[in-house]
Amino acid sequence: MPTASENLEIKIGVAFTNKNFLKEALTHRSYINENPNWDVPHNERLEFLGDAVLELAVTQNLYGQFPDLAEGELTSIRAALVNYQTLSKIAKEINLDTAIYLSKGGAKETERAKDVIMANAFEALIGAIYLDKGYDVAADFIKKNVLVMTKEITDNKLYKDPKSLLQEIIQEKLKVTPEYKVLKEEGPDHNKIFEVGVYFGDTLSGNGKGFSKQEAEVEAAKNALAKLNGIQ
């Protein structure tokens, strides 16, 4: 029966020549802490490398694909493609979460912390592909898994500030301004989680959670936009 890492190679269509590159990409720092005799380093150096490869490949593609867009809009689209939410979603789609070496404590992290771990591992995987197969293979992997989301992001204007975009749409459609209200606060003061709802008049149209009211408001706006665009 194939191992989780072998299944990952099959899933992404990349067979590593040096399996240690893949093993390192899948090794979270917390796993090393619990397994000090592990035979490869944790993945943070590969993450650093993969981040640069990802940014170059995405920038190169967007520059050619949108010749009429200004630098600011290109930057916003790129940011939407490479943020941790997008990358963690892609990481789960390729089953990276089943192959990562994570400590028992790390497996119990909050969903947001897990998403960051997955996004970082995805960047490390890009770094590993780059070292093992070269830039062209890494860029092709990025094209198939990341750049495929460009149309959804541009069509739905998901690269714009969610609160500003929501206000623009709702003021035009309903002639009201979205209002944000705190629905719930959970956890200790040093690690409080806020849940915020966004209302159009008296109607609750989306809610979101975050470690600050502002972050929760942004998540609420994103969820409301997703409903408006039929994504949810």
Per the annotation, the verdict on 68 as an active-site residue is no
Per the annotation, the verdict on 115 as an active-site residue is no
Nearest C-alpha neighbor of 227 from the set 204, 206, 207: 206
DSSP designation for 101:
B
Q: From the candidates 24, 47, 51, 219, which is the catalytic residue? A: 51
Strands, E assignment, the chain: 179-186, 193-200, 203-210
Instruction: Report yes or no: 81 and 119 within 8 Å, Cβ to Cβ.
Output: no
Count Cβ atoms below 10 Å from residue 190 Cβ, excluding itself.
5
Q: From the candidates 24, 123, 195, 219, which is the catalytic residue? A: 123
What six digits make up the tokens of 226?
């997703």
* Distance, C-alpha 25 to centroid of its chain: 17
Q: What is the DSSP string of 9-36?
A: HHHHT---SSHHHHHHHTB-HHHHHH-T
- Give just the sign of the alpha carbon dihedral 146, 148, 149, 154: positive
Q: Which residue has the tokens 């969610």?
A: 162
Catalytic residues: 51, 123
